[in-house]
């Protein structure tokens, strides 16, 4: 029962809304919690035990940290910090251990056996089939953020277990996030405020917009992506490039569309979930792109890896040494670069145990590193040549450059293996005949009817995004219209999704991509 | 608050009317499973010259992966067309057959028997049960994709090669070997046919015979789909309804299909190489048994020669 | 406070630091800017900034930054 299925938004969600509203305020949180359990159970069944244990562990470690901080034994500040640090490490390591064992054992085993084979040691790794609970990668990060915040003292340890459980298991976030912070959702989830009519309306409107992106656009492109990535070896380079562009489009439409459904669902219950996308393709550069794409993952890495690593004593001391030797202009890059490396290695690994993802992480590490080093010289350079960085021409150039960067990254991201990625990438340069793409455009699993729909869908999403960048919200605009016009608008929107959606007979159901990470 | 609720009810009522209207527009006239496939096939089929076909094939993907009318023409001289659609149910076959008789009077109608073992009737797709339940009340959810056949789209037509060049046959290139060995182990067991299948088969037989034709049952070799129990089931039906039945799964010596290289997907469908052998054998068999005409020297059928050339089938 | 404004101006010129209250929220300071800022004020005011201090509330305006610096100085 993924979020884009009729079972979710037309059956499950309305039932939860109804029950929530019927029950008295005090026990409404229990309705949400019950819905969380049912939702999780439908995907992972008994594996819910992982989530239950993780919630209990998080709850008790939080309390333990608080107890140490209250300092009943009258210890020195230094000793308290040391003790707290050990407890935090215990909490994080226990949770990470589950993630690492379930997701990475096979990868490490395979890599080890590959290395041994190079040294002519005859040992083959037999992969173990692990059952992975849904959303493991997402709730593990939420646990880390909560425990670290309690350790840092920016978040009070929660004494009510229900709130911790609600925070970690809110059903709209289960499959694909967003990765929220404790203070963003827990209290609101527990409070059981009545559902407001406007929230219900706006929530469902946002869900409809998400369905449009996912069902009309992303799912229509999916067969093409699957076909081209599976058969690139026999296809022209122009088609391989087309496939990579299609994948970027599919991924954005699907992930951001799903987030619209998720955030809309939260809004119905008065929960403001953090946004995960902010017009990423309008970014200035690769670094800026990642402040606009999967935002909650980026801020998680920023707060819990980038800053701590940059400010860690060994890194700082090393930077000081460099400063003495090479001066400030070099030393100022030391700490951020070390931290950046850790962030992107984690980002790659988080997506899964595959060399393609590690490559993807390192790709962005190198790009953003270069961007940082070149920022100042480039500024001086453009000033000397009197290039206006805000002119339309320059912005178009910048957008195209970014798009090439993103498409290249996602090509490797979606390749079956690193070898496939390089082969497919190579084909674009060694075997490129645009005429091949034009003559076979309708043999790539999208017919003469599908392609216009996709193009119109992309244009619509682009317009809405461009307006949003200028702080114009179409939904709000529409709600100001007179009723007949407003109704016609929403009828048209609903029918657009129903008629032009790529679902039902003739289409294969497409699983959510990020639910696999 | 009351005003708001009334307004919401009004909005929903309007939506219900729109859904009902679009459902009426998009719902096909008779029960079909793969409505879009049937629409598209009907459209393509109508492009054939009227009263020019001697034989028409029906069936699911097995049929259009195996029967190559252009090859059969160049080898035996009779004209045929594959009205196979993906996941065809016998109710789809019946609708397509009615359509076929509007423009053609084939002497022989060949039905591939894999579709006997599917439920015949409206969609019972088990992939999304909730959606199916909704679709029963709101048919537009099931038939929404038919907008593609209702909206005439002229643009880019010249580069769309998909439409009807190979007389319904699909040229499938992939290769994935089948390693399972013999799949037709003799048994007394009789497989059960899909619900409603016999009901529709009876209607199909009556329609063919009332148009003066002969209905023939053929089973294409497919280790993935076929078993001896299914053979027994069709054998029984063919005796009961007095129909000819040719099971090519039992003719491996005659066909000599190399299952390492001549299947597209590990024994489910044949690829072009496998289709060549099946078509060649079947063309000769049908031509001799039903005394089908040879049009190779008739200038009225020169279009077929051009199609063969254009499609590259002559190589 | 004067010194802080100078440091800010040095890291990223052309912003009205005395009045701007949304340095983080409007993405004027990115994470790299924050890090250079931290290393500068650590040296200038002889304090140590922990990761827990790197939140929007402390970095959104020169005023809140100054408050944080004073607080950390006291804790030393």
Residue B171 or A432, more confident: A432
Other Cβ atoms less than 10 A from the Cβ of C4: the count is 19
Share of chain B above pLDDT 70, in %: 94
Confidence of residue A248 (pLDDT cuts 50, 70, 90): very high
Angstrom distance (rounded) from CA B61 to CA B41: 13
Say if residue A35 is preceded by a cis peptide, omega within 30 of 0: no
Reading the block at residue A194, the tokens are: 């009545």
Write phi, then psi, for C26 (nearest 5 degrees): -95, 15
* pLDDT (tens digit per residue) in A175-225: 998 999 999 999 999 999 999 999 999 999 999 999 999 999 999 999 999
Task: Give the contacts of A31 (CB within 8 A, at least 6 positions apart).
Answer: A16, A19, A20, A23
Angstrom distance (rounded) from CA B240 to CA A187: 72
Angstrom distance (rounded) from CA A441 to CA A435: 10
Residue A452: pLDDT over 80 = yes
* pLDDT (tens digit per residue) in A408-447: 999 999 999 999 999 999 999 998 999 989 888 888 888 8
Reading the block at residue B110, the tokens are: 């060949």
Check residue B127 and give its pLDDT.
65
Angstrom distance (rounded) from CA A226 to CA A243: 9
Residue B163: pLDDT over 50 = no
Residue A87: pLDDT over 50 = yes
Residue B162: pLDDT over 70 = no
B164 by DSSP, 3-state: which? coil
Angstrom distance (rounded) from CA A241 to CA A355: 21
Confidence of residue A467 (pLDDT cuts 50, 70, 90): very high
Say which DSSP state C26 is in. Answer: T
Check residue A510 and give its pLDDT.
75
Residue A61: pLDDT over 50 = yes
The fold of B33-125+152-311 is Rossmann fold (3.40.50)
Do the two chains C and B touch, given a threshold of 8 Å on CB pairs and at least 3 pairs? no
The residue extents of the domains of chain B are 33-125+152-311
The residue extents of the domains of chain A are 6-194, 208-237+248-273+443-517, 278-414
Average of pLDDT values for A251-268?
97
Say which DSSP state B270 is in. Answer: B
State the DSSP H helix or E strand holding residue B55, giving kind and residue range, or none if neither.
strand B55-58
Task: Give the contacts of B14 (CB within 8 A, at least 6 positions apart).
Answer: A487, A491
* pLDDT (tens digit per residue) in A337-369: 999 999 999 999 999 888 999 999 999 999 999
Angstrom distance (rounded) from CA A331 to CA A322: 5
State how far the alpha carbon of B266 is from the alpha carbons of A232, B59, B117, in Å: 21, 20, 21
CB A446 within 8 A of CB A216: no
Angstrom distance (rounded) from CA A155 to CA A294: 24
Task: Give the contacts of B87 (CB within 8 A, at least 6 positions apart).
Answer: A505, B33, B34, B37, B60, B61, B118
Written as one string, the DSSP assignment of A286-316 is HHHHTTTSSHHHHHHHIIIIIHHHHHSHHHH
Check residue B251 and give its pLDDT.
93
State how far the alpha carbon of A430 is from the alpha carbons of A224, A241, A372, A424, B168, in Å: 22, 12, 32, 10, 36
* pLDDT (tens digit per residue) in A281-303: 999 999 999 999 999 999 999 99
Angstrom distance (rounded) from CA A142 to CA A303: 12
Of B140, B141, B156, the CB nearest to A448: B156
| Chain B residues interacting with chain A (CB cutoff of 8 angstroms) | 1, 4, 7, 11, 14-15, 18-19, 22, 33-37, 87, 123, 125, 127-128, 130-131, 134-135, 140-142, 144-145, 147-148, 151, 153, 155-157, 159-162
Provide the shortest C-alpha distance from residue B15 to chain A (in Å).
Answer: 7
Reading the block at residue B301, the tokens are: 């059928």
Burial of A118 (0-12, 13-18, 19+ CB in 10 A): exposed
* pLDDT (tens digit per residue) in A472-493: 998 889 988 999 999 999 999 9
Q: Cβ A505–B161 below 8 Å, yes or no?
A: no
Average of pLDDT values for B120-143?
78
**A372 Cβ under 8 Å from any chain C Cβ:** yes
Among A421, A331, A402, A397, smallest CA distance to A364 is for: A402
Angstrom distance (rounded) from CA B225 to CA A415: 32
Confidence of residue B124 (pLDDT cuts 50, 70, 90): low
Which chains have 3+ CB pairs within 8 A of C? A
Among B282, B274, B171, smallest CA distance to B222 is for: B274
Among A42, A257, A297, smallest CA distance to A171 is for: A42
Angstrom distance (rounded) from CA A62 to CA A168: 14
A368 by DSSP, 3-state: which? helix
Average of pLDDT values for B40-46?
88
Q: How far does CA A197 lie from the centroid of its chain?
A: 30
* ipTM field: 0.87
Check residue C13 and give its pLDDT.
79
Angstrom distance (rounded) from CA A414 to CA A244: 9
Angstrom distance (rounded) from CA B257 to CA B262: 7
What are the structural domains of chain C? 2-75 (1.10.1200.10)
Which chains have 3+ CB pairs within 8 A of B? A
Look at the block and give the residue holding tokens 């010259």: B49
* pLDDT (tens digit per residue) in C22-75: 888 887 888 888 888 888 888 888 888 888 888 888 888 888 999 999 998 887
* pLDDT (tens digit per residue) in A21-54: 999 999 999 999 999 999 999 999 999 999 999 9
Q: Which residues of B touch A491 (CB under 8 A)?
A: 14-15, 18
CB B105 within 8 A of CB B259: no
Q: Cβ A307–C54 below 8 Å, yes or no?
A: yes
Averaged pLDDT of chain A: 92
Write phi, then psi, for B313 (nearest 5 degrees): -75, -15
The two beta strands, B55-58 and B108-112, are: parallel
Q: Which residues of A touch B151 (CB under 8 A)?
A: 449
Q: Look up the pTM and report it.
A: 0.87
Angstrom distance (rounded) from CA A206 to CA A209: 5
Q: Cβ C51–A335 below 8 Å, yes or no?
A: no
A334-351 vs A313-326: helix crossing angle, rounded to 10: 140
Angstrom distance (rounded) from CA A420 to CA A83: 48
Look at the block and give the residue holding tokens 């290289």: B261
Residue B146: pLDDT over 80 = yes
Closest-approach residue (CA) in chain A for C31:
A302
Say which DSSP state A9 is in. Answer: I
Residue B126: pLDDT over 90 = no
Reading the block at residue B208, the tokens are: 């063919």
Residue A512 or B273, more confident: B273
Q: Cβ B7–A483 below 8 Å, yes or no?
A: yes
B7-16 burial: b if 16+ Cβ within 10 Å, else e: eeeebeeeee
């Amino acid at each position: 029962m993924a979020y884009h299925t009729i079972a979710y938004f037309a059956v499950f969600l309305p039932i939860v809304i109804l029950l929530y509203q019927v029950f008295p305020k005090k026990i409404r949180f229990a309705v949400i919690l019950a819905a969380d359990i049912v939702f999780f159970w439908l995907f992972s069944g008994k594996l819910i035990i992982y989530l239950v244990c993780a919630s209990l562990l998080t709850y008790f470690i939080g309390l333990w940290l608080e107890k140490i901080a209250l300092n009943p034994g009258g210890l020195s500040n230094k000793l308290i910090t040391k003790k707290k640090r050990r407890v935090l490490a215990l909490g994080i390591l226990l949770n990470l251990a589950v993630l690492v064992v379930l997701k990475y054992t096979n990868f490490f085993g395979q890599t080890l056996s590959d290395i041994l084979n190079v040294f002519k040691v005859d040992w083959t790794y037999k992969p173990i089939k692990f059952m992975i609970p849904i959303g493991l990668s997402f709730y593990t990060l939420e646990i880390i953020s909560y425990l670290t915040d309690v350790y840092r003292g920016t978040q009070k340890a929660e004494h009510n277990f229900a709130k911790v459980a609600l925070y970690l298991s809110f059903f709209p976030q289960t499959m694909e996030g967003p990765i929220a912070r404790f203070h963003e959702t827990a209290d609101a989830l527990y409070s059981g405020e009545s559902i407001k009519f406007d929230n219900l309306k706006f929530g469902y409107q946002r869900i409809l917009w998400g369905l449009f992106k996912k069902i009309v656009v992303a799912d229509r492109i999916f067969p093409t992506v699957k076909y081209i990535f599976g058969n690139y070896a026999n296809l022209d380079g122009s088609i391989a490039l087309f496939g990579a562009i299609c994948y970027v489009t599919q991924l954005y439409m699907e992930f951001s569309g799903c987030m619209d459904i998720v955030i809309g669902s939260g809004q119905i219950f008065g929960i403001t979930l953090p946004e995960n996308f902010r017009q990423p393709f309008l970014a200035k550069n690769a670094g800026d792109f990642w402040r606009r794409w999967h935002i909650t993952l980026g801020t998680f890495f920023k707060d819990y890896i980038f800053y701590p690593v940059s400010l860690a004593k060994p890194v700082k001391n090393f930077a000081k040494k460099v400063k003495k030797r090479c001066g400030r202009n070099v030393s100022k890059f030391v700490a951020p670069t070390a931290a950046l490396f850790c962030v992107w290695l984690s980002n790659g690994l988080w997506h899964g145990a595959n060399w393609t993802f590690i490559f993807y992480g390192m790709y962005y590490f190198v790009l953003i590193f270069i961007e940082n080093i070149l920022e100042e010289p480039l500024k001086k350079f453009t000033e000397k040549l009197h290039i206006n960085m805000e002119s339309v021409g320059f912005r178009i150039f910048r957008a195209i450059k970014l798009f090439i960067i993103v498409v290249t990254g996602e090509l490797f991201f979606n390749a079956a293996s690193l070898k496939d990625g390089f082969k497919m990438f190579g084909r674009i340069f060694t075997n490129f005949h645009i005429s091949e793409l034009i003559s076979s455009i309708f043999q790539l699993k999208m017919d003469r009817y599908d392609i216009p729909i996709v193009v119109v869908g992309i244009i619509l999403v682009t317009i809405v995004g461009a307006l949003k960048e200028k702080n114009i919200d179409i939904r709000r605009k529409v709600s100001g219209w007179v009723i007949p016009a407003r109704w016609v608008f929403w009828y048209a929107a609903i029918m657009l999704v129903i008629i032009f959606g790529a679902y039902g007979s003739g289409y294969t159901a497409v699983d959510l991509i990020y639910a696999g990470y | 608050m009351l005003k708001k609720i009334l307004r919401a009810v009004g909005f929903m009522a309007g939506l219900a009317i729109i859904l009902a209207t679009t459902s009426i527009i998009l719902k096909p006239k008779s029960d079909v499973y793969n409505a879009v496939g049937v629409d598209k096939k009907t459209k393509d089929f109508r492009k054939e010259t009227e009263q020019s076909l001697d034989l028409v094939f029906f069936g699911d993907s097995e049929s259009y992966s195996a029967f190559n009318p252009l090859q059969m023409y160049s080898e035996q001289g009779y004209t045929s067309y594959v009205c196979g659609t993906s996941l065809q149910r016998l109710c789809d076959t019946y609708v397509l057959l009615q359509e076929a008789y509007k423009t053609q009077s084939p002497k022989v109608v060949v039905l591939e028997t894999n579709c006997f073992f599917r439920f015949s009737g409206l969609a019972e797709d088990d992939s999304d049960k909730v959606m199916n339940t909704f679709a029963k009340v709101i048919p537009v959810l099931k038939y929404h994709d038919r907008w593609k056949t209702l909206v005439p789209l002229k643009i880019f037509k010249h580069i769309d090669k998909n439409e009807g060049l190979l007389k319904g046959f699909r040229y499938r290139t992939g290769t994935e070997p089948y390693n399972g060995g013999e799949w037709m182990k003799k048994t007394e067991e009789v497989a059960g046919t899909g619900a409603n299948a016999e009901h529709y088969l009876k209607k199909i037989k009556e329609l063919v015979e009332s148009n003066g034709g002969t209905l023939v049952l053929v089973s294409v070799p497919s280790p993935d789909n076929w078993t001896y129990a299914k053979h027994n089931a069709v054998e029984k039906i063919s005796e009961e309804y007095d129909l000819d039945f040719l099971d090519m799964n039992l003719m491996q010596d005659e066909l000599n299909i190399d299952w390492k290289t001549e299947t597209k997907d590990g024994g489910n469908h044949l690829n072009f190489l496998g289709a060549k052998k099946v078509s060649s054998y079947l063309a000769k068999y049908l031509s001799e048994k039903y005394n089908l005409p040879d049009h190779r020297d008739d200038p009225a059928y020169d279009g077929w020669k051009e199609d063969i050339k254009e499609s590259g089938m002559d190589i | 406070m004067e010194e802080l404004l100078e440091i800010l101006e040095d890291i990223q010129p052309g912003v009205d630091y005395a009045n701007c209250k949304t340095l983080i929220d409007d993405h004027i300071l990115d994470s790299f800017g924050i890090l250079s800022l931290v290393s500068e004020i650590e040296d200038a005011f002889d304090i140590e900034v922990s990761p827990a201090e790197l939140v929007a509330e402390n970095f959104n305006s020169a005023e809140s930054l100054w408050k944080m610096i004073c607080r950390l100085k006291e804790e030393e």
